[in-house]
Amino acid sequence: MIQHVIAVWFLRDGIQARVEMVQGDSGREIHFVPEDISLKNDMAAKIYVEKPSGLACYGNAEIRENVVVVKATTQMLAEPGVSLGQVQLYQGDVKVTSFLFRLEVKKSIVDASGIESKDEFTILEQTIKDALAAINAANAAIEAAAQATRKAEDAAAAANASSQKAETAAGTASTAATNAATAAGNANTAAELATTEAGNAETAAANANEVYERLKNVDIAQVSTDITNIKNVLQKTIIAEV
């Protein structure tokens, strides 16, 4: 809502910057303008303020172009009197700290009596929040990994069952193929036997036909007479020998 622009120094302890604010306000921003260095895009900033009682506020700041912007919190302005502060700049693992600036908090007679001054470490609070979020994310990742493991185990069991079924089916198919081959062999043997019997039948038919051809012109009556005559002759011969 309200912006306070003050200069800060990093290379020398110049004129100590001074800014005035009212106790308990929450709608003020402080724009710190470095007088002896230039800010870079890969930098981060923090603000530290020590109140007259010795309690402190420590929080993140924002870098906008070549300005460090800090939102003054109610705790930062909780105690009337002179607070001392510093701006810290971070680039990777290194940091630089500005020389002191003065934050003069003027007493408010409106609602300041309800403000309890205490330490405010929003950086620590944010770090704790980030740590808790990381823990929750890690727990979620562990649970997701456990679920994925269970699903993989279920899939492996299903694949194993399918493999066993496939092996059983393959064995059944192999048995059926063997049975079919045996049946085919039996059929071939039966066919060969049938062929042999057919040949025998043809031979018997040929023999029968030959006998028929021999006997078809025979006079049965004459044959019977001849047989009778032969018997008579044989009987006479037998009697004569006796």
Contact 22, 112 (CB under 8 A): no
Strand-strand pairing, 56-64 and 44-50: antiparallel
* Residue 149 belongs to a domain: no
Q: Taking the complete model, does pTM exceed 0.75, yes or no?
A: no
Domains: count for the chain = 1
Mark residue 143 as left, alpha or beta (left: phi above 0; alpha: psi -120 to 50; beta: remaining).
alpha
Contact 25, 109 (CB under 8 A): no
Domain extent, residue 82, equals: 2-118
* Residue 45 belongs to a domain: yes
Q: State residue 133's pLDDT score.
A: 65
In CATH, what number is assigned to the domain containing residue 99?
A: 2.60.40.3350
Q: What average pLDDT values come out for the chain (242 residues) when binned by 10 residues?
A: 94 88 94 95 96 96 95 94 97 95 93 76 58 66 77 82 79 79 78 78 77 68 74 69 50
